[in-house]
């Protein structure tokens, strides 16, 4: 319900295990296509200029079931050092096209032995100063489960790209061959006989209703506000609400985006018929990208309510 999700309500995910990192020993290495390899300790990182970013944080769902929406989402404030400032310590060479980020965790993932959790990020994103090595979430140092002491945060990208327990950054000309970069976490589509691969980077438009709650009973002829959150890599421009299972749609009031936050929406509704009603919402960005009715991680969200004449 809150614009800023309290830390204890933010979902927590890891594929293999939670490594416990001694804050005194932690360091990060910046290597690969750089002018000079560099390492930074936690104190050195903390001494660098930091910034805050308010951002939604969404998991794209289970990598084996890319069409199943899970809608694990939160909105938090990250604080950290811009990635570009950290990379500047090593000097990125012009042939670098991707930043590989490696976490301290590895192990068995459904029978596959994974050396380490690695993600990759297109070099163009490094220019943004909201892509950061985060030290805090919601004003508190990152706990072990949250990826502490340092994690990558890429606002607007699916949560999987925000590597927790970060230990190295590597500049490379190609995508990482890691299990969680080019094997899992890529949408694959066949077009004219060719396989088109879409990495799970930028978040597709999505929205959820948070009030009224699923299976609530509402009163006939009494106004209620259907409200919720909408988010995506690009700002959401419109949210529509349906009170009849998707037959008719009406435009909701929508808040502007602050940095990379989710955006609140509201639609006042006075039910005039009793019985079961399905409420739905759908979001669109400026390019007209929206949400499919079913079968996608961002498919349209629906809840059921009943209206009673009391």
Q: Which stretch binds ligand MTE (CB under 6 A): 12-20, 262-270, 279-287, 300-308?
A: 12-20
Question: How far apart are the C-alpha atoms of 252 and 249, rounded to whole Å?
Answer: 9
| Run of H or E including 88 | helix 83-88
Q: Which stretch binds Mo ion (CB under 5 A): 55-63, 129-137, 184-192, 286-294?
A: 55-63
Q: Exactly one of 56, 100, 157, 165 binds ligand MTE (CB under 6 A); which one? A: 165
Whole-angstrom Cα Rg for the chain:
21
Residue 105 beta carbon to ligand MTE: minimum distance, rounded to whole angstroms:
5
| Run of H or E including 210 | strand 206-211
Binding pattern to ligand MTE, positions 111-150, x when CB under 6 A? ------x----------------------------xx---
- In the complex with Mo ion, the residue whose CB is nearer, 61 or 271, is 61
Q: Exactly one of 155, 156, 159, 178 binds Mo ion (CB under 5 A); which one? A: 159
CA distances from 129 to 67, 154, 283, 293 (A): 32, 10, 27, 35
Of ligand MTE, Mo ion, none, which one sits near residue 155, judging by CB under 5 to 8 A according to partner kind?
A: none
If binding is defined by CB under 6 A, does position 160 make contact with ligand MTE?
yes
Q: Exactly one of 32, 69, 103, 148 binds ligand MTE (CB under 6 A); which one? A: 103
CA distances from 85 to 13, 62, 254 (A): 28, 33, 35
Of ligand MTE, Mo ion, none, which one sits near residue 290, judging by CB under 5 to 8 A according to partner kind?
A: none
> Which residues, in sequence order, are CB contacts of 264 under 8 Å at separation 6+?
3, 227, 228, 229, 254, 255
Convert 22-61 into a string of H (helix), E (strand) and C (coil): CCCCCEEEEEECECCCEEEEHHHHHCCCCEEEEEEEEECC
- In the complex with ligand MTE, the residue whose CB is nearer, 164 or 260, is 164
Binding-site size, Mo ion (CB under 5 A): 3
Q: Exactly one of 55, 105, 156, 305 binds ligand MTE (CB under 6 A); which one? A: 105
> Which residues, in sequence order, are CB contacts of 46 under 8 Å at separation 6+?
135
Residue 31: strand pairing partners: 170
Of Mo ion, ligand MTE, none, which one sits near residue 11, judging by CB under 5 to 8 A according to partner kind?
A: ligand MTE
- Binding residues (CB under 6 A) for ligand MTE: these are 10-15, 59, 103, 105, 117, 146-147, 159-160, 162-165
Contacts with Mo ion, residue ranges (CB under 5 A): 59, 159-160
């Amino acid at each position: 319900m809150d614009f800023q999700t309290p830390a204890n309500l933010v979902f927590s995910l890891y594929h293999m295990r939670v490594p416990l990192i001694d804050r005194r020993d932690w360091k990060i290495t910046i290597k690969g296509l750089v002018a000079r390899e560099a390492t930074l300790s936690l104190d050195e990182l903390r001494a660098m200029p930091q910034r805050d970013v308010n951002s939604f944080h969404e998991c794209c769902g289970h990598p084996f079931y890319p069409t199943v929406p899970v809608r694990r989402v939160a909105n938090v404030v990250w604080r950290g050092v811009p990635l570009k400032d950290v990379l500047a310590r090593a000097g990125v060479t012009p042939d670098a096209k991707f930043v590989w980020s490696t976490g301290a965790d590895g192990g068995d993932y459904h029978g596959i032995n994974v050396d380490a959790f690695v993600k990759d990020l297109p070099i163009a994103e490094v220019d943004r100063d909201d892509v950061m090595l985060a030290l805090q979430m919601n004003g508190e140092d990152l706990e072990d489960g949250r990826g502490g002491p340092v994690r990558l945060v890429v606002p607007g990208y699916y949560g999987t790209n925000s590597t927790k327990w970060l230990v190295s950054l590597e500049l490379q000309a190609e995508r990482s061959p890691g299990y969680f970069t080019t094997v899992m976490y890529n949408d694959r589509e066949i077009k004219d006989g060719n396989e088109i691969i879409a990495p799970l980077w930028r978040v597709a438009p999505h929205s959820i209703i948070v009030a009224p709650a699923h299976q609530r009973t509402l009163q006939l002829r009494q106004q209620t506000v259907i409200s919720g959150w909408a988010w995506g890599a690009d700002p959401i421009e419109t949210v529509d609400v349906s009170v009849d299972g998707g037959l008719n749609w009406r435009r909701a009031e929508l808040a502007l985006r602050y940095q990379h936050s989710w955006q609140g929406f509201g639609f006042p509704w006075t039910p005039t018929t009793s019985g079961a009603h399905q409420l739905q919402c759908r979001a669109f960005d400026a390019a007209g990208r929206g949400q499919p009715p079913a079968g996608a991680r961002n498919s349209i969200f629906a809840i059921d309510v009943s209206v009673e004449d009391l």
